[in-house]
Amino acid sequence: MSAGSLRLRGRSRADHARGALFQGLLLFSLAIGFVTLGVLLFDVLQRGLPYLDLALLTNAPSTDPQIAGARPAILATVYMMVILLVTVLPIGVATAIYLEEYANKERWYNRLLDLNIQNLAAVPSIVYGILGLAFLVRGLGLGRVLLAGALILTLLVLPIVIVSSREAIRAVPDSIRQGGYALGATQWQVIWRQVLPSAIPGIATGSILALARAIGETAPLILVGALTYVSFNPTIMGPFTALPIQIYQYISRPQEEFKLIAAAAIIVLLAILLTMNAFAIWLRNRYQKRW
Amino acid sequence: MSEPRPPARVSFQEELDQLEAALREEGELVLRSLRAAVEAVCSQDVELAEEVIAFDDDIDSQYFEVEQGIELLLARQTPVASDLRLVLALLKDNLHLERMGDLCTTIAKLTKLTKGLPPDDTLLEGFKEMGERAEQMIRVALRSLQQRDRVAAESLLELDELIDRANRRVVNRLLEIGHDLEVREWGLRMILVSRCLERIGDHAVDIGEQTAYLVTGEFREFTDASH
Amino acid sequence: MPPMETTAAPVKIAGMRVETAGARELPAQREVLFDVKDLRVTYAGVPALDGVSLEIYRNYITAFIGPSGCGKSTFIRCFNRLNDMIPSASVEGSVLYHGEDLYGKDVDPVEVRKLIGMVFQKPNPFPKSIYDNIAFGPRVLGMKDGLDERVEQALHQAALWDEVKDRLKESALSLSGGQQQRLCIARCLAVEPEVILMDEPASALDPISTTRIEDLMHELKRNYTIVIVTHNMQQAARVADKTAFFSVDVAPDGNRRTGILVEYDDTSKIFTTPADKRTEDYVTGRFG
C-alpha cells in the first residue's frame, strides 16, 4: 500500500470540534427549558407546601387567611375538566375518524375543512370567550353557568384533539385495514375493532395536551361569567369560579399570607393536572403497540 | 427445541421419486425383452421374436414418457446440486435403456432372418450364458442407481469383462465350424447377435458410470480404452 | 421398493403402462369457477389493464406473472373487489363467479370477500394475540360458536398449529416472518372461503419460509382454489397448474402503458414451449 493513498485517519480536528460545539448548543437549549421549569417549581413548592393542608381543600374562601380555602374553585375546575373530557373526546375523535376514513380527500370542501381546523387552534382564547357569551350564555340561554364555561373550553381545545387524533389514526398502517377488509369486515368494523384501538395512545396524548391547555384558561371563563368570589359549592347549572381565577384573586390581596395560600393552590392545580395526565399515560401505555 | 420439521418441497421430491420409479419400470421392460430375445434365439422361436419386436413400442413409449417427465421437471423445478446430477443421470440412463431395448429388437430380427438355418448348440449355450450375464448386469446397474452404491456400480466393470471374453469365444467357435455355406450364413448373423449382447453389457456399464457421477459429482469413465 | 430377482416365469410379454412422470394431482373434471370477459380497469380514466379474458378452474393453482406495471396486482384485486377501496378506480367488463357477475348491481362486496379471501405481500397480522387474529374474521362475520375449534382447525390447515399451540395468547407480532405469513393464511381460512387470492405471498420471506408456503399451497389446493400473483417465475413454475403471462402494451406515442394478457396456458406449456414470443422472452429472462 503506497503511503498517502489510504486515509484512515482522515477527519480534521476542526470537524470534531464543530460536532462537539453543536452538541453543546443542543444541551444548552435543553437546559434553558429545564432550568426555568425547575426554578418555577422549586419556588412554588417552597412557598406553597407549608400552606398545603386540608383547610385549603375543604374551606371556602374568606377574608381571614387562617381559614381561607379554595374548595369551590377546586370543585369547579374538576367538574369542568370532567365535562370537558367527556365532551371533547367523542366529538374530536368522531371528527378525526370522518376526516381520515370516510372523507374523500380530493373534494374541495374537505380540504377547506382541513384548513379551518388548523386555523381554529390559532384563535386567541378571548375570542372564544366572546363566542361563548354570545352563543351559549345569551343565544342558547344557558346563563352564566359552569356548563357554559366547560363547553367553551371544549370548543377551545377541540382542534388539538382533532389534530392529534388524526395523526394517531393516520399512523395505523393501511395494511391492517386491507387485512380487515379482505376478511369481509365492513368499514365500520375495521375502524372500531382495529384502527381505534391502535390509535388510543395517540388520542390519549392529544387529551393530555387538551387538558393542559384548558386547565389554565381564564379569559374565556371570565367572559362567560365566572365570578371571582364564590363561597358556595358550584353546581353545573349554577354560578361558578375556577381555580386559576381564585389563585389570581388571592395573589391580588394585600396580605402576604394570601400569596402563600395562592402558591399552595397552584400546587393543587398542578396536582389535578398531573392526576388526569397520569391516567391518560397509563391508558396510552396499556394500548401501546409496536409495529 | 421443537419437533423435527417435515421435509420441504414435497411435491418436487414426489416427482423425482416418480421419475426414478418410471425408469425402473423401463428397466423391467428391457429385462423382459432381453430374456425373450435370448430365448427366441436359443430355441429359434420366430413367434417369440415377433413379440419382442412388437414389444419395443412399449419400451419406446416408456422412454418417451420418462424423457418428457425430465424435461418438465427441469423446466418447472430448476433442480440444482445433487438433484440436478440425478436428473441428468436419469436422462442418460433413459437413453441407455432405450438403446438396450433396440439391441434386443435387433437380436429378435436376426433370429427371424436365420429361420431354418442349422444352429450350433455350443454357440447357443454361449448365448444363453451371455444373456444371463447381461441380465445380471442390468439388475446390478439399476440396483446400484437406486441405492446410490458406487462400489456396486464399479463392479459392473468386472462383469463386463466376462461378456467381452464370451464374445471373443463366439468368434473363435465360428472359425472352427464355418465350413458349410449355411452354417457360415448362420454364423455371420450370430456374430451380430453376440455383438448386441456385448453392447448391452457396455450400456449397463455406462449406467454404472452415471451412478458414480451422481454419487461423487465427478464423471469418470470406468475404463481407459475406448471400446 | 420392489425386489429385483430372476423369475422363471413364462416369457410372454405383457404391455405395461406407468403413470406419467411428474403428473400433478388435478381434479378429473375441470370446473370453471371464475369467467372473466373483457375486463378493463382504469384509474382516474387512465387504463391500467385492458381486454383481459380468461377462466379460472376450481381446485387449481393459477399464477399471474409478468413484469412490474403489467397490472397483475390490479387484476387479482378485481376478484375480491378490493379495488372498490380506491375511489379513482373503475372496473368494466364482467367477472363471473359461479355464473354470477361479481360487479352486479345487488352484489355486496363484503359478502364477496367472505367467499374470496386474500393474503398480502407483506405479512400483516393485527397487533393482537395469535388467537384474536384468527378469531377476528369469524367474530365480525357473526360465526361466534365453536371459536376455539375454528381457530385450531385454521392453524392446522396452515401448518402452524404445532408451532403456536402453546402460545395462542401471545402477540402475533412475536412470530417470525414466515410464521406471520402462515398466520395470515390461517386467518383467511378461518372464515371458510372458497378461493384464496395471494398477492406475492412469499416475496418478503426467506427461501426456507418460501418453500414451506409453496408446500402449503399444494396441500390447500385440495380444498380451495388458489390464485397467486408472483414476480418470481420459478415460483410460478413450481406451484402453478395454469399460468397467465401479462405484459405492458405501450401506445405508439410512448405515453400510455396498459397491462394486457399475452398468454394463458398449462404451466408446463408456458415453460417449455410458449406460443407467444413475448412469453418466451420473459420466461427466459431476456426481456421483461
**A106-160, pLDDT tens digit by residue?**
788 888 888 888 888 889 989 999 988 898 888 888 888 888 889 999 999 999 9
Interface contact flag, A183 C117, Cβ < 8 Å: yes
| C267 interfacial to chain B (CB closer than 8 Å) | yes
pLDDT (tens digit per residue) in B85-94: 999 999 999 9
Interface contact flag, C212 B8, Cβ < 8 Å: yes
Q: Which residue of A has its CA nearest to C129?
A: A289
Whole-number average pLDDT of chain B: 90
Closest CA to C151 of C195, C113, C189, C119: C189
Q: How far is C94 from chain A (nearest CA, A)?
A: 21
Predicted confidence (pLDDT) at residue B226 exceeds the cutoff of 50? no
Which of C111, C113, C125 lies at the smallest CB-CB distance from A182? Answer: C113
The one-letter code for the residue type at A225 is G
Burial class (CB in 10 A: 0-12, 13-18, 19+), C30: middle
**C neighbour chains, 3+ CB pairs within 8 Å:** A, B
Interface contact flag, B9 C208, Cβ < 8 Å: no
Interface contact flag, A185 C110, Cβ < 8 Å: yes
Closest CA to C116 of A174, A183, A176: A183
CB-based contact A233:A176 (threshold 8 Å): no
Provide the percentage of residues in chain B whose pLDDT is more than 90. Answer: 67
- ipTM value for the complex: 0.84
Which of A175, A178, A183 lies at the smallest CB-CB distance from C187? Answer: A183
B11's grid cell: 411435491
Interface contact flag, B8 C1, Cβ < 8 Å: no
Chain C environment of A182 (Cβ under 8 Å): 80, 82, 113, 117-118, 120, 188
| Helix orientation angle between C207-220 and B10-43, rounded to the nearest 10 degrees | 70
Q: pLDDT confidence of A5, banded at 50, 70, 90? A: low
Q: Is A288 left (phi over 0), alpha (psi -120 to 50) or beta?
A: beta
Interface contact flag, C140 A184, Cβ < 8 Å: yes
Q: What is the pTM of this model?
A: 0.80
Interface contact flag, A173 C124, Cβ < 8 Å: yes
Q: What is the pLDDT of residue A70?
A: 83
Chain B environment of C23 (Cβ under 8 Å): 18
Chain C environment of B16 (Cβ under 8 Å): none
| C72 interfacial to chain B (CB closer than 8 Å) | no
CA distance C123 to A182: 13
Q: What is the pLDDT of residue C79?
A: 95
| B9 interfacial to chain C (CB closer than 8 Å) | yes
Provide the percentage of residues in chain A whose pLDDT is more than 70. Answer: 96
CB pairs under 8 A between B and C: 89
Closest CA to C75 of C67, C64, C86, C84: C64
CA distance B197 to B194: 5
Q: Residue C24 in 3-state DSSP?
A: coil
Per the DSSP assignment, residues forming a β-bridge with C226 are C61, C196
Predicted confidence (pLDDT) at residue A188 exceeds the cutoff of 80? yes
The one-letter code for the residue type at B206 is D
Which of B3, B72, B128 should we substitute to test contact with C (largest number of C Cβ atoms within 10 Å)? B72
CB neighbours of residue C205 within 10 Å: 21
Interface contact flag, B78 C11, Cβ < 8 Å: no
Predicted confidence (pLDDT) at residue C135 exceeds the cutoff of 60? yes
Lowest mean pLDDT among A243-257, B38-52, B68-82, B139-153: A243-257
CA distance C88 to A250: 62
Interface contact flag, C136 A193, Cβ < 8 Å: yes
Q: Which residues contact A180 (CB under 8 A, 6 or more apart)?
A: A189, A190, A193, A194, C126, C136, C140
Which of C21, C163, C208 lies at the smallest CB-CB distance from B69? Answer: C21
Long-range contacts of B114-121 (CB under 8 A, 24+ apart): B114/B44, B114/B185, B114/B186, B114/B189, B114/B190, B115/B44, B115/B46, B117/B182, B117/B183, B117/B185, B117/B186, B117/B189, B118/B180, B118/B182, B118/B183, B118/B186, B119/B44, B119/B186, B120/B173, B120/B177, B120/B183, B120/B186, B120/B187
Interface contact flag, C15 B55, Cβ < 8 Å: yes
B36, containing H or E segment: helix B10-43
CB-based contact B24:B142 (threshold 8 Å): yes
Predicted confidence (pLDDT) at residue C12 exceeds the cutoff of 50? no
Place of cell 417552597: A46
pLDDT (tens digit per residue) in A34-77: 999 999 999 888 888 888 888 778 888 888 877 888 888 888 88
Average pLDDT, stretch C121-133? Answer: 94
**A neighbour chains, 3+ CB pairs within 8 Å:** C
CA distance B33 to B52: 6
Q: Residue C57 in 3-state DSSP?
A: strand
Burial class (CB in 10 A: 0-12, 13-18, 19+), B170: buried
Which of B3, B58, B78 lies at the smallest CB-CB distance from C15? Answer: B58
CB-based contact B82:B214 (threshold 8 Å): yes
Which of A104, A183, A289 lies at the smallest CB-CB distance from C127? Answer: A289
Per the DSSP assignment, residues forming a β-bridge with C89 are C43
A281's grid cell: 399515560
Chain B environment of C215 (Cβ under 8 Å): 8-11
Q: How far is CA C101 from CA A79, C39, C91, C115, in A?
A: 58, 12, 12, 14
Q: What is the pLDDT of residue C13?
A: 43
Interface contact flag, C87 A175, Cβ < 8 Å: no
pLDDT (tens digit per residue) in B12-71: 889 999 999 999 999 999 999 999 999 999 999 999 999 999 999 999 999 999 999 999
CB-based contact C34:C78 (threshold 8 Å): no
Which of A183, A189, A286 should we substitute to test contact with C (largest number of C Cβ atoms within 10 Å)? A183
Q: What is the pLDDT of residue A289?
A: 57
Chain B environment of C163 (Cβ under 8 Å): 2
Q: How far is C263 from chain A (nearest CA, A)?
A: 28
**B neighbour chains, 3+ CB pairs within 8 Å:** C
DSSP strand pairing (C46-57 vs C89-97) = unpaired
Predicted confidence (pLDDT) at residue B2 exceeds the cutoff of 80? no
Q: Which of A189-193, A283-287, B117-121 has the highest mean pLDDT?
A: A189-193
φ and ψ at C95, to 5 degrees?
A: -125, 105
| B28 interfacial to chain C (CB closer than 8 Å) | yes
Burial class (CB in 10 A: 0-12, 13-18, 19+), C156: middle
Q: pLDDT confidence of C15, banded at 50, 70, 90? A: very low
Provide the percentage of residues in chain C whose pLDDT is more than 90. Answer: 72
Chain A residues within 8 A (CB-CB) of chain C? 104, 106, 173, 175-176, 178-186, 189, 193-194, 198, 289-291
CA distance C235 to B172: 61
Chain B environment of C2 (Cβ under 8 Å): 24
CA distance C58 to A288: 43
Provide the percentage of residues in chain B whose pLDDT is more than 70. Answer: 95
Q: pLDDT confidence of C160, banded at 50, 70, 90? A: very high
Q: Which residues contact B11 (CB under 8 A, 6 or more apart)?
A: C24, C215, C218
pLDDT (tens digit per residue) in C204-247: 899 999 999 999 999 999 999 999 999 999 999 999 999 999 99
Closest CA to A77 of A212, A208, A215: A215
pLDDT (tens digit per residue) in C244-265: 999 998 888 877 789 999 999 9
Supply the CATH classification number for the domain A52-287.
1.10.3720.10
Chain C environment of B2 (Cβ under 8 Å): 162-163
Chain C residues within 8 A (CB-CB) of chain A? 80, 82, 85, 87, 110-111, 113-114, 117-118, 120, 122, 124-127, 136-137, 140-141, 173, 184, 187-188, 191
Q: pLDDT confidence of C4, banded at 50, 70, 90? A: very low
The rounded Cα B198 to chain-centroid distance in angstroms is 10
Q: Residue C266 in 3-state DSSP?
A: strand
Interface contact flag, C120 A179, Cβ < 8 Å: yes
CB neighbours of residue B190 within 10 Å: 26
Predicted confidence (pLDDT) at residue C8 exceeds the cutoff of 50? no
Predicted confidence (pLDDT) at residue C14 exceeds the cutoff of 70? no
